[in-house]
Structure 1
């Protein structure tokens, strides 16, 4: 199998092999790439590092709050022996199916000591930074092991894979999608399955990897498995390597059998919870036709790039966190030219590998366009292949435009291959070398990333941090900040996250930012997903006041409805901090929330730095 040969060249081997680099030189190269990747990752996330507690990602404060909540829940899980895949702390009285969300359970447990000592805010930016750096470094190691000899070629390809526009975009909140290191590690192990005599060990390792990575990036793992399968099948059907593939088939199948048994056993419970557990749902809370790649986005520049500084950024993505392609015309042209150049110089065995890589890239590009073709922000009446897949299991819970992240990996591989060709200078003319080198610089410079945007966010109230809240709610009782926690008003969820991270007493909250069923209770199993809990009249009063400053004159019917809603949530107290945070520098109308709450519940009690309303008998603040 050409792709599995130790560090093969990008095309036919030269007449005389260059000498192998010494172990010391290899380690120096590894260290240089690792430090460069870490430095670039810190540069991208520096706004959070300046003040992890006071700064948040302005383009996606909601997702950041959700992942900080998960990190706090990791400490709570260890301390209370709770279920990592289901929680009753949010969305009272129904709870949240974390397996059907992005639970990142491995991260929450591994980083629990840091979360306990420094807080979810520090754990969050640490994981985000290590994800970006680790992705670039993992791809570098993969490329040098399987496809190119030169550390420079592997380093360029790896850095692109780790910091491609799509991954910089997902750095706005997503600890799952920035874990791009999952793909090269899984593909590396897949390629090792053909090793004779090691099918049991290799299958066992792959099974363990799939079980662990499922909780970190389930959707990304699905895409990686799909891409690996397409690659292997396409490669195996190529004439020059068909006999080689046939000889390895039995070993690979035995290894996959072991993988299936190991991964199946370890994932039995999380998979049950994901597909059939309480509060599960079909699909997602997002429209697949909206979250599809605009074909013109492949030719555009991302909003966080050097090109954007000169007014060349694009708004063709559904939001700044989902700019998953945005390679720009120069890079797309460079990739096409590079493929032609590498193909012409490749021996038959290497062409089988190149063909499989191109098939993967082409298929994922087409699928990323979604059910219908979009061009320049307009949906055209042209059906595309994803329309056939959209309702199938797994595909129905995926967002098509994220398939473009696989295309980014293919682009990184091609960059490594063509760079190796240029470094083998006797294989190209001086003019070609100079021209292609200039083209690589011209293609990559415009998409060089800018740091992710950040903003100040409300600091944790002393009412929460000092534990005063315990005087106003019973053990494991329900209390909520105003407005109720949502993706656009996520402070209340953060206060709960920080409380969980301290490992002490805990409260529950109604609502929250998560994915759940359209309806509550058992009937929710038949519903498609939605963002957050189905709103009731009372929480909508506070949300509307916060977002729009809308204050309505309340009637006795409104007050009666509020009493019923509070009973439904089992709420014992509500509190309003001095400051509430909105995404993307949005100004929220705190005074409108205060007026609404006072009209509904009467004058509040000033406690520490918040205003408190008692809703139902809880704990006597004098005796507790």
Structure 2
């Protein structure tokens, strides 16, 4: 099913017209593209590489802490035989359903040796860098195999797909969404399902791939499946290829049956945990009417781009991690013009594929706008298809704006196709050839990415790294840093990750950054999704002090509440480090936390480089 085919048989594999020159050493080209992709990935992440242990992503401290925690938990899982899809180390006393989060279990296990030797901090930036590089390279290989003959055309398309504005934005923390290499590998195997006589092998391979990739990027895998389904169905109904589609129908159906059986068997437990296990939840902790693509965002420039250096960055995104599209007017215009140019030079069979590709792009464009149309940060009273889909399973837990990532891939494919037309000189008009070439360069330069932003983070206290904490906590007991671990105060979760990665004794913590139910019932049953644990009065005291410097005069009622809260968490000790990491270079108020803790718990004990308050069973620190 190749759009490069000019004959009516749109699925010529590989395409036979026009004849391509023989490449005697294709590995040299592959190696060159791989090195360019890796260099770009290192460039984007260089701020973290300069000091992986003391630098953190300033635009998303919480997500980096969560993924570092997962990497540390991978070492803990292998060492203790624990459940990779549920953990009681976070969110005491309920625990966290990791299957309902992004568990990246394949990564945590595969990279466990590196995590054990170098720490989750180093493993995190390694995976982030490889994700970006492998995504660009995988798309290059996919386009070389299925779409174009020119290495330059495949390289342009692949590099765009790997480093498009949306993926640079997601490089601020997300090891799942930067794993863009998942899409071309799955799509490659989907296209191979039609091979005669190989339905069993191809179905088996696809089933194993889906099971493995589920833990890395479940939501992204869902988008790939949806896009592939729309593409194949639209293509199959093309009049020019109807006979070809009918001939492949039985083979594809058999292969999909094998895929369903294999993937279903391998994913039985993860899917059960995801949808019915403890601490599951409905929907998401994020507002689906807020995390949508403003229609104007497609015409705007991203904040981590050359355009932003001259003041053209956008104020439209909900946050800097979700700038999913932001292509700019020049690229949007170029994509539309290029699609028309390629369409006019295509044979009927090739147009079937282009039509299917266009349908995919338009569908995901509209879905990315969410339940209602937004323009320049104003929600208009215009309902859209996602308003219906948002009530369906999976869709109700997705963020609409992320569907725009599929539009980026469609644009990347169009760029590859028009580059093929240019480098092969199929465009005979010198003026058109020069104009398209100049337009392509002019459209891509403004969105050339800048490195992700970083900042210093609080170092791991000696109290934790040297194991002194063990003198204050019973075996597998509960201890917490102040303020408690949240997405904006993530130190406590990071330090627990480092302890897990070392493979020694372990403690548990209340709270943390994760997705969980809004309301816990008597048995911890599921509720509406939210970010982190529902705060209690006591942890909110410390959080409010750290974020806003707010110190209140405590009453006996506050102390009674604290007794109940500490008993609920079964906390045996809390400690205050010398520094507290805030998000986006925010300075958190350590002194306000110290005043609040001292007023509530009495004078602290200086231990190593932290202040410690003991809270032991049977010894009430509040009775003073």
Class of the TM-score when normalised by the shorter of the 2 chains:
over 0.9
Asked if 2 retains the 8 angstrom alpha-carbon contact of 1:580 and 1:588, the reply is: yes
**Partner residue in 1 for 2:622:** none
Question: 1:172 deviation in Å?
Answer: 0.2
Asked if 1 retains the 8 angstrom alpha-carbon contact of 2:483 and 2:489, the reply is: yes
**Partner residue in 1 for 2:13:** 6
**Partner residue in 1 for 2:573:** 573
Asked if 2 retains the 8 angstrom alpha-carbon contact of 1:294 and 1:316, the reply is: yes
Question: 1:525 deviation in Å?
Answer: 3.8
**Partner residue in 1 for 2:119:** 119
**Partner residue in 2 for 1:610:** 610
| Residues 79, 28 of structure 1: alpha-carbon distance in 2 compared, 3 angstrom cutoff | same
Question: 1:526 deviation in Å?
Answer: 4.7
Question: 1:521 deviation in Å?
Answer: 3.7
| Residues 307, 7 of structure 1: alpha-carbon distance in 2 compared, 3 angstrom cutoff | farther
Spell out, residue by residue over 1:276-321, the C-alpha distance to the aligned partner (whole angstroms, 9 max, x if none).
0000001110000000000000000000000000000101110000
Question: 1:6 deviation in Å?
Answer: 3.2
Distance in 1 of aligned mates of 2:546 and 2:154: 50
**Partner residue in 1 for 2:87:** 87
Asked if 2 retains the 8 angstrom alpha-carbon contact of 1:73 and 1:500, the reply is: yes
**Partner residue in 1 for 2:45:** 45
**Partner residue in 2 for 1:20:** 22
Distance in 2 of aligned mates of 1:437 and 1:207: 42
What SS does structure 2 have at the residue aligned with 1:215?
A: helix
Distance in 2 of aligned mates of 1:495 and 1:19: 56
Summarize the alignment of residues 449-528 of structure 1 with structure 2, pairs less than 5 Å apart. Answer: 449-521=449-521, 525-528=525-528
Summarize the alignment of residues 154-553 of structure 1 with structure 2, pairs less than 5 Å apart. Answer: 154-521=154-521, 525-553=525-553
Distance in 1 of aligned mates of 2:384 and 2:524: 31
**Partner residue in 2 for 1:601:** 601
In structure 2, stretches of 5+ residues that fail to align are 4-10, 620-624
Question: 1:96 deviation in Å?
Answer: 0.2
Asked if 2 retains the 8 angstrom alpha-carbon contact of 1:7 and 1:148, the reply is: no
Asked if 2 retains the 8 angstrom alpha-carbon contact of 1:279 and 1:522, the reply is: no
Spell out, residue by residue over 1:509-536, the C-alpha distance to the aligned partner (whole angstroms, 9 max, x if none).
0000000000124575452100000110
What SS does structure 2 have at the residue aligned with 1:381?
A: strand
Question: 1:7 deviation in Å?
Answer: 4.3
Distance in 2 of aligned mates of 1:608 and 1:400: 47
What SS does structure 2 have at the residue aligned with 1:447?
A: coil
Distance in 1 of aligned mates of 2:469 and 2:533: 24
Distance in 1 of aligned mates of 2:501 and 2:526: 34
Distance in 2 of aligned mates of 1:2 and 1:188: 11
Question: 1:427 deviation in Å?
Answer: 4.0
Distance in 2 of aligned mates of 1:478 and 1:523: 21
More displaced 10-residue stretch of structure 1: 81-90 or 523-532: 523-532
Question: 1:424 deviation in Å?
Answer: 1.7
Spell out, residue by residue over 1:372-428, the C-alpha distance to the aligned partner (whole angstroms, 9 max, x if none).
000001111110111010010110010000000000000000000000011121443
Question: 1:617 deviation in Å?
Answer: 4.1
Spell out, residue by residue over 1:169-225, the C-alpha distance to the aligned partner (whole angstroms, 9 max, x if none).
000000000000000000000000000000000000000000000000000000000
| Residues 436, 618 of structure 1: alpha-carbon distance in 2 compared, 3 angstrom cutoff | farther
What SS does structure 2 have at the residue aligned with 1:616?
A: coil
Distance in 2 of aligned mates of 1:428 and 1:248: 37
Question: 1:432 deviation in Å?
Answer: 1.6
Asked if 2 retains the 8 angstrom alpha-carbon contact of 1:473 and 1:618, the reply is: no
TM-score, structure 1 as length reference: 0.97
Asked if 2 retains the 8 angstrom alpha-carbon contact of 1:5 and 1:146, the reply is: no
Distance in 1 of aligned mates of 2:15 and 2:310: 41
Distance in 2 of aligned mates of 1:58 and 1:143: 35
Distance in 1 of aligned mates of 2:44 and 2:119: 21
Distance in 2 of aligned mates of 1:410 and 1:426: 22
| Residues 618, 464 of structure 1: alpha-carbon distance in 2 compared, 3 angstrom cutoff | farther
| Residues 80, 526 of structure 1: alpha-carbon distance in 2 compared, 3 angstrom cutoff | closer
Distance in 2 of aligned mates of 1:618 and 1:501: 32
Spell out, residue by residue over 1:527-585, the C-alpha distance to the aligned partner (whole angstroms, 9 max, x if none).
21000001101000000000000000011111111011000000000000000010000
Asked if 1 retains the 8 angstrom alpha-carbon contact of 2:520 and 2:526, the reply is: no
What SS does structure 2 have at the residue aligned with 1:425?
A: coil
Q: Tell me how large the CA RMSD over aligned residues is.
A: 1.1
Spell out, residue by residue over 1:309-346, the C-alpha distance to the aligned partner (whole angstroms, 9 max, x if none).
00001011100000000000000000000000000000
| Residues 521, 73 of structure 1: alpha-carbon distance in 2 compared, 3 angstrom cutoff | farther
| Residues 522, 354 of structure 1: alpha-carbon distance in 2 compared, 3 angstrom cutoff | farther
Distance in 1 of aligned mates of 2:525 and 2:413: 42
Distance in 2 of aligned mates of 1:604 and 1:68: 30
Asked if 2 retains the 8 angstrom alpha-carbon contact of 1:422 and 1:428, the reply is: no
**Partner residue in 2 for 1:69:** 69
TM-score, structure 2 as length reference: 0.97
Distance in 2 of aligned mates of 1:304 and 1:458: 25
What SS does structure 1 have at the residue aligned with 2:156?
A: helix
In structure 1, stretches of 5+ residues that fail to align are 620-624
Question: 1:8 deviation in Å?
Answer: 3.2
Summarize the alignment of residues 87-106 of structure 1 with structure 2, pairs less than 5 Å apart. Answer: 87-106=87-106
Count of aligned pairs between the two proteins: 612
Distance in 2 of aligned mates of 1:7 and 1:604: 72
What SS does structure 2 have at the residue aligned with 1:480?
A: strand
Spell out, residue by residue over 1:229-263, the C-alpha distance to the aligned partner (whole angstroms, 9 max, x if none).
00000000000001000000000000000000000
